[in-house]
Amino acid sequence: MKYPRLWSRLYNTPLAIGFDKLRVIEGVFRKHLDEPLAAFSRPESNRRSSYSVSGGGVAVIPVQGTLVQRSSGLDTESGLTSYASIGAQIREAMADTQVRAVLMEIDSPGGEVAGLFDLVDTIYQARSIKPVWAIANENAYSAAYAIASAAERLTLPRSAGVGSIGVVAMHMDQSAKDAKQGYVYTPVFAGDRKIDGSEHFPLTPEAKSSLQSEVDRLYGLFVSTVARNRNIDANVVRATEAGWLNPQEAVASGFADGIATFAETLSELERRAAPSVTTTGVRAAAHHVSTIRKRQMDEHQDTAVDAPQESPSVESHAQSTKGTPIEVEALKAEGQTAERSRIAAILNATEAEGRTDLARSLALETDLDATSAIKVLSSAPEQAKVGGLLNAAMASVDNPIVGADAPEDEEDNAVEAMTARALSTLGHKPNPNQGV
Kindly tell me if the per-residue pLDDT of 151 is higher than 80. yes
Q: What is the largest CA-CA distance in the chain?
A: 104
**Is residue 363 within 8 Å of 340, Cβ to Cβ?**
no
pLDDT, residue 436, reads 37
pLDDT band at 400 (very low <50, low <70, confident <90, very high): low
Kindly report the number of other CB atoms within 10 A of residue 146's CB atom: 25
Average pLDDT over residues 211-228: 96
- The verdict on 361 and 398 lying in the same domain is yes
d(CA 43, CA 41): 6
Find the DSSP H helices in 49-137.
83-95, 116-126
- The verdict on 244 and 125 lying in the same domain is yes
DSSP state of 191: S
Kindly tell me if the per-residue pLDDT of 178 is higher than 60. yes
Kindly tell me if the per-residue pLDDT of 409 is higher than 60. no
pLDDT, residue 322, reads 47
pLDDT, residue 218, reads 95
pLDDT, residue 2, reads 53
CA Rg value for the chain: 29
Q: Which domain holds residue 141?
A: 4-272
Side-chain half-sphere CA neighbours of 286 within 13 A = 9
- The verdict on 245 and 365 lying in the same domain is no
DSSP state of 168: B
- The verdict on 205 and 245 lying in the same domain is yes
Kindly tell me if the per-residue pLDDT of 373 is higher than 60. yes
pLDDT, residue 282, reads 44
Higher pLDDT, 351 or 432: 351
Higher pLDDT, 39 or 33: 33
Domain membership of residue 308 (yes or no) is: no
Kindly tell me if the per-residue pLDDT of 314 is higher than 50. no
Kindly tell me if the per-residue pLDDT of 285 is higher than 60. no
406 exposure class (CB count in 10 Å sphere: 0-12, 13-18, 19+): middle
Q: Which range has the top average pLDDT, 18-32, 84-98, 310-324, 387-401?
A: 84-98
Side-chain half-sphere CA neighbours of 297 within 13 A = 14
- The verdict on 286 and 226 lying in the same domain is no
- The verdict on 131 and 187 lying in the same domain is yes
Domain membership of residue 430 (yes or no) is: no
pLDDT band at 168 (very low <50, low <70, confident <90, very high): very high
pLDDT, residue 319, reads 44
Kindly tell me if the per-residue pLDDT of 332 is higher than 90. no
- The verdict on 180 and 103 lying in the same domain is yes
**Is residue 106 within 8 Å of 64, Cβ to Cβ?**
yes
Angle at 335 between CA 332 and CA 337, to 5 degrees: 110
Kindly report the number of other CB atoms within 10 A of residue 274's CB atom: 11
Domain membership of residue 307 (yes or no) is: no
Angle at 215 between CA 209 and CA 217, to 5 degrees: 105
Domain membership of residue 432 (yes or no) is: no
Average pLDDT over residues 70-93: 78
Q: Which range has the top average pLDDT, 326-340, 352-366, 399-413, 418-432?
A: 352-366
d(CA 233, CA 244): 18
Residue 128, domain CATH: 3.90.226.10
Q: Which helix (H) or strand (E) holds 31?
A: helix 19-32
d(CA 161, CA 139): 5
- The verdict on 115 and 181 lying in the same domain is yes
Q: What is the DSSP string of 222-253?
A: HHHHHHHHHT--HHHHHTTTT-EE-HHHHHHT
Domain membership of residue 53 (yes or no) is: yes
- The verdict on 251 and 291 lying in the same domain is no
* Cα–Cα distance list, 316 to 31, 288, 323, 324 (Å): 84, 21, 10, 11
Average pLDDT over residues 282-311: 50
In total, how many domains does the chain have? 2
Contacts of 293 (CB under 8 A, 6+ apart): 320, 321, 323
Contacts of 199 (CB under 8 A, 6+ apart): 7, 11, 171, 172, 173, 174
pLDDT band at 222 (very low <50, low <70, confident <90, very high): very high
Q: Is residue 197 left, alpha or beta, with left meaning phi > 0 and alpha meaning psi from -120 to 50?
A: left
Higher pLDDT, 128 or 406: 128
Domain membership of residue 434 (yes or no) is: no
- SS3 call for 109: coil
Domain membership of residue 433 (yes or no) is: no
84 exposure class (CB count in 10 Å sphere: 0-12, 13-18, 19+): middle
pLDDT digits (tens, 9 = 90+) for 7-37: 455 555 666 655 455 555 555 555 555 555 4
- The verdict on 371 and 259 lying in the same domain is no
pLDDT band at 262 (very low <50, low <70, confident <90, very high): very high
pLDDT, residue 126, reads 96
Kindly tell me if the per-residue pLDDT of 198 is higher than 70. yes
pLDDT, residue 48, reads 40
What does pLDDT average to over the chain?
A: 76
- The verdict on 395 and 255 lying in the same domain is no
d(CA 29, CA 1): 13
Average pLDDT over residues 297-326: 48
Domain membership of residue 431 (yes or no) is: no
- The verdict on 336 and 252 lying in the same domain is no
pLDDT, residue 44, reads 41
